[in-house]
Amino acid sequence: MVTHTVDKAGRDAYTLAMESVDESEAIDNMVIVDKGAESTTAIVVRHLPTDNWYAGRPMAEDFGNNFSGKLQLFSAENGLVVEVDMENGGILGKDSESNNSTGRGGCSISSVSYAGLSQAGVFYITNINIIIDCDFGSGSGGDPFDLGNGSDPDEEEDNNGSGSSDGGNGGVDTSFLEFELLSQFCQENGFILSPQGDGCLVDEPFILNPCKQMDQAEQDSALKSKLNELKGKVNDNREFGRLITGTNPTTFSNLFAGQPNDGGINFSTGSKIDGFVHSHYNGLLPVFSGSDLKVIYDLHKQGKIRKWKTFTAYLVTNGTTYALKIDDIDDFLAFGDVRFKTTGFFQLFEAQYAAKINTTNTNGQNELAFANLIKESGLKLFKGNPLNFGTWTSITSNSAETGIINDNCN
């Protein structure tokens, strides 16, 4: 994906991701700046995390405070221009260097700050600010980024940048660099730049892994309330359910009710949803049905799932409670394409499902059969505490498919 931004001087810049050419975990992006008069230049922004930081990156709620590694800027003309070492979100030490023999350097990263908020399993970056200070004196030789002289000393002062104050010896508009670096950070972390150019908006936010999301569900009082509501209806002769319409806080649709003794529930939505909760009454399966799986597949195909990484389906029965999350969207769609895509496929799947999962089995037998069924499906199964919904444990079957084991997230 290419992102187009316009700097404060009206120059166009295009940001694109770069494929790694080595086995490092570097995160590289290139900004191509249109300077006008058929002239362009390129800046590469590289984040080179330490091994320990990269391994711990799934701890998204701490991202803004714990980045460790090097932040480097390269220009097409001068190679490495400036870099800074970071540890736990702060500047450990900084250095400025340039390959240009004329000595046009004078730039250093003086400040890197992150701000964000972790809620409902999602890390929202509200502000990332990187300030480049450049001291271009009479002997500096000009702008190491070769962006052209566009500095406005007053504007730079307003934006905490420093530039040429002698009014003529070249200079980099540090407010522009700050703007572009912010754009880079937003882009490479899956965000979009705010219209004001002062922060990142959520496009595809940092998302906790499924297990950590379910850890947060253990503390979700709104969710527990709705699950307890369904628990009180399992002795009825129909299914009940609600759509999860929002997170932070968790919100729900009105209650849907199926037809008596029908073993199903119909709902419709004109908006994207974050999941659903529903019940199986006594006499129905104690695990998700084949139709339940098909609903998740159909919702995604219809564009009704807001974000598949945070989508959750919950089931409450008389004595059991489960949750399903999509762990790998490609595997899930491949699983669904050969089971749910056509009526014939689904009828065959239903017959195979009923042969292994049915009301003549014990709850434990059905749980094991269901865990075996969804192996390699891209789905992750969680078993909840049916008494108070205060714990959720990820489970799967063992390699021999003869027993249930914990399936902790990596």
pTM above 0.95, yes or no: no
**Which segments of the chain have a pLDDT < 70?**
1-25, 27, 29, 31, 33-39, 41, 45, 53-66, 76-78, 93-207, 410
Confidence at residue 83, expressed as pLDDT on a 0 to 100 scale = 78
Confidence at residue 361, expressed as pLDDT on a 0 to 100 scale = 96
The region, left, alpha or beta by phi > 0 then psi within -120 to 50, assigned to residue 9 is: alpha
Give Cα separations from 70 to 18, 62, 73, 78, 92 (angstroms). Answer: 17, 18, 10, 18, 10
Dihedral, CA of residue 315, residue 316, residue 320 and residue 326, to nearest 10 = 20
The candidate with the shortest Cα–Cα distance to 168, out of 179, 158, 153, is: 153
Confidence at residue 46, expressed as pLDDT on a 0 to 100 scale = 74
What are 17-56's pLDDT values in tens digits? 566 555 566 767 676 766 565 567 677 767 777 877 666 5
Mean pLDDT of the residues in the chain: 74
Q: Which long-range contacts (CB under 8 A, 24 or more apart) does 30-34 make?
A: 31/180, 31/183, 31/184, 33/7, 33/147, 33/180
Domain boundaries, the chain: 2-207, 210-406
- Any residues with CB less than 8 A from the CB of 63 and at least 6 apart, and which? 57, 114, 116, 123, 125, 206
What are 80-133's pLDDT values in tens digits? 777 778 877 777 754 444 322 222 345 566 666 655 555 555 544 444 455 655
Give yes or no for a contact between 243 and 266, defined as CB atoms under 8 angstroms apart.
no
Give yes or no for a contact between 321 and 385, defined as CB atoms under 8 angstroms apart.
yes
